[in-house]
């Protein structure tokens, strides 16, 4: 069932959580939290997304708060550490927030840095992680095909697990996958799945070796699980810099998949300087628990968004609800 707008607004709370360091171009993460019959759920499309795209995130929030509860096949999910665009001297401090994680996802191709900067960051991660750890890099589609090829050659010596969204389009992914096949480095698709009109197009085109799946952008646990089944490729379940409530949604998605061969990108609560619960979903022993989140009223009040921002989110909720 789809709750009425009044039902959603009745419990909706908007928070503005500070980040430990700038990430994805923001210093504060805004999110709307809503309590449904299943427990708390999250609606947190990034502010620049239009209403049509944001409505899919609202469908995800409703699915987790009001929909059928997903089956849980595993009580915990192994997660990767996430390395923002930082100088090598800061890498150790970031890794310390992800105790026990054997995999590190390193952000690369930032507009404010060079390939040499990316190589230095990845090299430092490999030094600290040791030869047995896994390193994956994420370019968020920022490279051209030639830039991606040069970058992969420069980074290959650090034994990459895969390169995520090296280029923006499906056709470009097909070509870069062909060019680097001899390197034995798989290509993962993220934006080409979650921001595509057809999230299965990248799989049909043979443009990726694996898919990065995020519950909120794909319409929720139920819809994302269906996409995974139809794609027929290995997946990494990841997050969109969610609060612990959104991470719980992702954890339930990951816990319900029959196969989960890759560590998931669900440890990002470690990037937040604050959360909405006294028991956040932080990595412990390289994993997070699969559980619903109990919010703290005191924390909801402490990190409440300014009145004008809360009003902006309530108006956005109303527009997106009308689109469902």
pLDDT at residue 281, as a whole number: 98
Judgement on whether residues 85 and 121 belong to the same structural domain of the protein: yes
Q: How many domains does the chain have?
A: 2
Quick one: what percent of the chain has pLDDT higher than 70?
100
Lowest mean pLDDT among 160-164, 169-173, 238-242: 238-242
Are 45 and 85 in the same domain? no
- Cα torsion at 108, 110, 113, 116 (round to 10°)? 20
Extract the annotated binding site: 138, 164, 190
Catalytic residue selected from 105, 107, 183, 195: 107
Residue 209, domain CATH: 3.20.20.120
124 a catalytic residue: no
Options 124, 183, 195, 214, the catalytic residue? 214
Render pLDDT for 62-101 as a digit per residue (tens, 0 to 9). 999 999 988 899 999 999 999 999 999 999 999 999 999 9
pLDDT at 19 over 90: yes
Q: Are 152 and 166 in contact (CB under 8 A)?
A: yes
Whether residue 41 is found in the same domain as residue 188: no
Residues 215-225 have pLDDT tens digits of: 999 999 999 99
3-state secondary structure of 247: helix
Name the residue range of residue 92's domain. 76-296
Specify whether 33 is located in the same domain as 135.
no
Within this chain, do residues 178 and 302 fall inside the same structural domain, yes or no? no
Detail the residues annotated as belonging to a binding site for Mg(2+).
138, 164, 190
The answer to whether residues 273 and 250 touch, using CB atoms and an 8 Å cutoff, is: no
Residues 49, 193 within the same domain: no
211 and 136 in one domain?
Answer: yes
User: pLDDT category, 122, cuts 50, 70, 90?
Assistant: very high
pTM exceeds cut of 0.75: yes
32-51 pLDDT, tens digit each: 999 999 999 999 999 999 99
Same domain, 185 and 159: yes
Domain of 36, CATH number, reads 3.30.390.10
Both 249 and 269 in one domain: the answer is: yes
The predicted-structure confidence for 229-271, as pLDDT tens digits, reads as follows: 999 999 999 998 999 999 999 999 999 999 999 999 999 999 9
Residue 22: the pLDDT is: 81
Q: Please list the alpha-helical segments (H only) found in 138-243.
A: 145-155, 170-179, 191-194, 201-204, 221-231
The answer on 124 and 107 residing in a single domain is yes
In the predicted model, what is the mean pLDDT of residues 104-117?
96
- Residues 30, 117, single domain; the answer is no
Per-residue pLDDT tens for 124-143? Answer: 999 999 999 999 999 999 99
| HSE, side-chain direction, 13 A CA sphere, residue 8 | 29
Are residues 136 and 15 both part of a single domain?
A: no
Compute the average pLDDT of residues 148-155.
98
Copy the structure tokens of residue 94. 């970031």
């Amino acid at each position: 069932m789809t709750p009425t707008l009044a039902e959603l607004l009745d419990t909706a709370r908007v928070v503005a959580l500070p980040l430990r360091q700038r990430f994805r171009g923001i210093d504060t993460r805004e999110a709307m939290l809503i309590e449904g019959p299943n427990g708390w759920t999250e609606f947190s499309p990034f502010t620049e997304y239009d209403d049509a795209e944001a409505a899919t995130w609202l469908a995800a929030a409703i699915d987790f708060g009001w929909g059928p509860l997903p089956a849980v096949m595993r009580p915990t999910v192994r997660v990767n550490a996430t390395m923002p665009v930082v100088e090598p001297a800061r890498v150790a401090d970031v890794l310390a927030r992800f105790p026990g994680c054997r995999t590190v996802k390193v952000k690369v191709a930032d507009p404010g840095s060079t390939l040499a900067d990316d190589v230095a960051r990845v090299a430092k991660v490999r030094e600290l992680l040791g030869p047995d750890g896994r390193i994956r890099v994420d370019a968020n589609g920022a490279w051209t095909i030639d830039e991606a090829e040069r970058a992969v050659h420069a980074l290959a010596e650090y034994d990459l697990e895969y390169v995520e969204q090296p280029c923006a389009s499906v056709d470009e992914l097909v070509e870069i996958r062909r060019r680097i096949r001899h390197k034995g480095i798989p290509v993962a698709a993220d934006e080409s799945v979650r921001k595509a009109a057809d999230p299965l197009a990248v799989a049909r085109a043979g443009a990726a070796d694996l898919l990065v799946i995020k519950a909120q952008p794909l319409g929720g646990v139920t819809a994302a699980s269906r996409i995974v089944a139809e794609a027929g490729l290995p997946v990494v379940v990841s997050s969109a810099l969610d609060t612990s409530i959104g991470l719980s949604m992702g954890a339930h998605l990951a816990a319900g998949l029959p196969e989960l061969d890759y560590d998931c990108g669900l440890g990002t609560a470690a990037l937040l300087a604050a959360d909405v619960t006294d028991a956040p979903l932080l990595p412990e022993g390289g994993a997070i628990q699969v559980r619903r989140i109990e919010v703290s009223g005191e924390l909801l009040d402490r990190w409440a968004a300014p009145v004008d921002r809360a009003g902006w989110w309530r108006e956005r909720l109303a527009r997106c609800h009308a689109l469902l």
